[in-house]
Amino acid sequence: MADEKKQGFVEHITPRDVDFAQWYTDVILKSELVDYAPVRGCMVIRPYGFAIWERIKEALDRRFKANGHENVYMPMLIPESLLLKEAEHVEGFAPEVAWVTQGGGEKLQERLAVRPTSETIFCAMYSKWVGSWRDLPMKYNQWCSVMRWEKSTRPFLRTSEFLWQEGHTIHATPEEAQEETMQMLDIYREVAEDELAMPVLVGRKSDKEKFAGARATYSMEAMMQDGKALQAGTSHNFGTNFAEAYDIQYLSKEGKLTYVHETSWGVSTRLIGAIIMTHGDERGLKLPPHIAPIQVVIVPVAAHKGGVMEKCAEVSDQLKAAGIRVKLDDRDTLSPGFKFNDWELKGVPVRVEIGPRDLEKGQCVVFRRDTYEKQAVALSELSAALPVLLEDIQKNLYALADQFRQSRIREVHNMEELTQAVNGGFARAMWCGERACEDAIKEQTGATSRNMPFDQTPMGDTCVCCGRKAKHLIYFSKAY
């Protein structure tokens, strides 16, 4: 299989409008982002996929640290008794837990959960570490893998194990905790928009959809090309909910024992799935330049002709020196045409072609993956032109995604309109706030509530479902 490919077979990708799910699977496997592992529900992240994750991680980690967060590492095993302390939280996660019951050749006295998330262990440690108001806030984050048992496997979207970051912070006042919750949501939005070129809707989740144990959950929701929503990041305000269950108290300035206010927030390798389904096309991936592991690929044409390879290597060095992530494809057993397809499949934003005739003219051909446009560029101007082009591609990818999304969001006022809207898009609706209506909408249309935007300017007075007095503006859609 690997050998066939190297001999020049072009990979076949199912068109998006034939079968979107199959298109996704074709793209992630053929572009070599991931592979299935010989472990049920688990994925292997291959070098190209992991390199994307490293760039996302870097973009987030830099912002976390700039805002005073520090990284830590907590154990991956959590004793059952510790997990059981916050009732709502346990109920939410218990069905998904993988349990270690044997260790070192012996049956354990207590089952240990492979962390599905780490609130409980962060709480246990915060309870130990916090003394007085002087110790607050504590703003910690960890990068790790978590395990949530799944029946099916969709790499990056739904797997038993995935990689993520989880921030956990404690604060003296409810105001500070809320500010933190909002700040982290905003950092997620910024990274989604500026780095992943992915427009998102931010807002508050309904009580039904909030995190198990949170007072309030906020999310960012992105629209995939099939019109479904992908929850791409969440930020939770726990209030004193966990602090009371895990006894996290500090001595206030007034000498009074007081519960801390806590937040948590996370994004995961799901973001890679979001990038694929936001930007990809029939040829494969389209990576935003900011997070593309390779921003520019150089493909020699008639590489055996005098001077071509030398010039390609020289240009490669120049671009590298200009801070561009460049790759020279010097594989000698493959045709330029095969290489073109291969790098388009892998979503490299820009391709530079250099052949003997280009050399004569002192130029090269520059191809941009987002629009398929080709143009000749003087070699002497390439180092200056490419950073500008890459920024243009970054912006264009965002604009295209935003345009698509706008065209698929509909204001709806009754169930008939809602049903139509969520068939390939989002419905923007007024809602009474009752769980019963959310349940009814889910049952009738398959759509769930996504979030309530911060701008709550009403679209009307009545609930889209029950017709009674509306309380909230909210989005509904089918979701991943």
The 8-class DSSP code of residue 9 comes to: P
Show the binding pattern over residues 156-185: x = contacts a second copy (CB under 8 A), - = does not. Answer: ----xx-x----------------------
Degrees to nearest 5, angle at CA 311 with 307 and 315: 175
Residue 75 as a binder of a second copy (CB under 8 A): the answer is yes
Among 8, 29, 79, 377, binds a second copy (CB under 8 A): 79
**31 φψ region: left (φ > 0), alpha (ψ -120 to 50), beta (else):** alpha
Distance of CA 348 to the CA centre of its chain: 19
CA-closest candidate to residue 211, choices 220, 202, 219: 219
Give the binding range for a second copy (CB under 8 A) out of 35-43, 233-241, 270-278, 314-322.
35-43
Q: Contact at 8 Å (CB) between 451 and 219?
A: yes
Binders of a second copy in range 81-100 (CB under 8 A): 82, 94-100
Residue 135 as a binder of a second copy (CB under 8 A): the answer is yes
Residue 140 as a binder of a second copy (CB under 8 A): the answer is yes
Degrees to nearest 5, angle at CA 345 with 339 and 346: 90
Instruction: Tally the residues of the chain.
Output: 480
Q: How far is the CB of 126 from a second copy (least distance, A)?
A: 11
User: Which CB, 272 or 465, lies closer to a second copy?
Assistant: 272
The helix/strand/coil state of 3 is helix
User: Which CB, 38 or 373, lies closer to a second copy?
Assistant: 38
d(CA 260, CA 249) in angstroms, rounded, equals: 6
Give the binding range for a second copy (CB under 8 A) out of 107-115, 183-191, 218-226, 381-389.
107-115
**Cis peptide, bond prior to residue 137, ω within 30 of zero:** yes
Where are the strands (E) in 197-330, listed by range?
Answer: 201-204, 216-223, 229-239, 249-251, 257-259, 261-268, 296-300, 326-328
**What are the residues whose beta carbons fall under 8 Å from the beta carbon of 58, sequence distance 6 or more?**
none
Among 12, 18, 38, 443, binds a second copy (CB under 8 A): 38
Show the binding pattern over residues 315-344: x = contacts a second copy (CB under 8 A), - = does not. Answer: ------------------x-----------
Q: How far is the CB of 41 from a second copy (least distance, A)?
A: 9
d(CA 220, CA 14) in angstroms, rounded, equals: 29
Q: Contact at 8 Å (CB) between 185 and 233?
A: yes
Residues 238, 244, 248, 249, Cα dihedral to 10°: 110
d(CA 422, CA 479) in angstroms, rounded, equals: 10
Residue 313 as a binder of a second copy (CB under 8 A): the answer is no
Q: How far is the CB of 128 from a second copy (least distance, A)?
A: 7
Give the binding range for a second copy (CB under 8 A) out of 42-50, 176-184, 188-196, 434-442.
42-50
CA-closest candidate to residue 180, choices 64, 11, 80: 64
Q: How far is the CB of 143 from a second copy (least distance, A)?
A: 9
| Residues touching a second copy, count (CB under 8 A) | 68
Residue 77 as a binder of a second copy (CB under 8 A): the answer is yes
Q: How far is the CB of 54 from a second copy (least distance, A)?
A: 7
Residue 3 as a binder of a second copy (CB under 8 A): the answer is yes
Show the binding pattern over residues 250-289: x = contacts a second copy (CB under 8 A), - = does not. Answer: -x--------------------------------------
Binders of a second copy in range 109-128 (CB under 8 A): 111-112, 114, 121, 124-125, 128
Among 56, 147, 415, 447, binds a second copy (CB under 8 A): 147
Phi and psi torsions of 70, nearest 5°: -125, 145
Write out the two tokens for 268: 């995961």
Look at strands 426-431 and 409-411 and give their pairing.
parallel
Tell me which residues touch a second copy (CB under 8 A).
1-6, 35, 37-39, 42-47, 50-51, 53-54, 70-79, 82, 94-105, 111-112, 114, 121, 124-125, 128-132, 134-135, 140, 144-145, 147, 149-151, 160-161, 163, 251, 333
